[in-house]
Amino acid sequence: MKNFVFLSVIESFLLVTALSIDAFVTSFAYGTNKIKIPFKSVTIINIICTSFLAIALLVGNIVKDYIPAGVTSWICFSVLFILGIIKIFDSSLKSWLKKGVFNSQDLSFKFLDFRFFLKVCSDSTEADKDKSKILSSMEATSLAIALSLDGLAAGFSVALLEVNFLEIVIFSLITGMIAVMLGCFIGNKVAEKININISWISGLILMLLAFIKIL
């Protein structure tokens, strides 16, 4: 019983850590660009990301009752493994989005506008559309939705198996808050703009979690 509880905690921690890395990298980029993220915006980002994850967990928990037990393990493995591979090649994907999807013409801001949404996905600092160097509540909302996509897929897949819903949600709230605030703080302390790419770490963690789920 103790081993099961310990494994559950480890799995929950790995999941939310993998999902928080993007938030850290994004906040780091904001920090190096001297863009401030007010606590209100940090809270908005964290609540939205955790809410998307919670919804995915609930949906997955409902759907699993209609899927054979032997199949759910492989669905969970496949989704996490594929998501892990995507994260490993995340920098290449973002580069493609920048070069292939957008032209040099400036895009007008529309809340949840799909082209603007893709632009935020390829370069998170684009969420500061008004160039005020302060991430507003509306801009934080758009950024949070872009950061929540991984959580939807990962949350749904892990919920097909036994998970501790409350544990994951609490971990997500804590790690998400730390990731955004720490990323912005460290980025702000860096004297020059540098690009860091640690999305591959998120990919490796998701792939590790995928294998744990079928053991």
pLDDT, tens digit, 9 for 90 and up, residues 100-116: 544 444 434 444 444 55
Q: What is the pLDDT of residue 102?
A: 47
pTM over 0.95: no
- pLDDT, residue 110, reads 40
Confirm if 35 and 133 have CB atoms less than 8 A apart.
yes
DSSP output for 159-193: HTS---HHHHHHHHHHHHHHHHHHHHHHHHH-SS-
Tokens of 69: 């037990």
Residue among 44, 83, 47, 51 nearest 213 (CA): 83
- pLDDT score at 194: 61
Q: With residue 195 as reference, give the H or E element that holds it.
A: none
DSSP 130: T
Tell me the per-residue pLDDT of 62-90, one tens digit each, with 9 for 90 and over.
Answer: 998 888 878 888 889 899 898 888 888 77
29-43, 63-77, 115-129, 199-213: least confidently modelled range:
115-129
Spans of all domains in the chain: 2-214
Q: Taken in order 179, 181, 187, 190, is the CA torsion positive or negative?
A: negative
Tell me which amino acid residue 190 is: V
Indicate if the pLDDT at residue 199 is higher than 60.
Answer: yes
- Tens of pLDDT along 149-165? 889 999 999 998 878 89
Tell me the two tokens of residue 101: 């999807």
Please tell me which residue, 193 or 101, carries the higher pLDDT value. Answer: 193
Express each pLDDT in 10-27 by its tens digit.
888 999 999 998 889 888
What does pLDDT average to over the chain?
A: 78
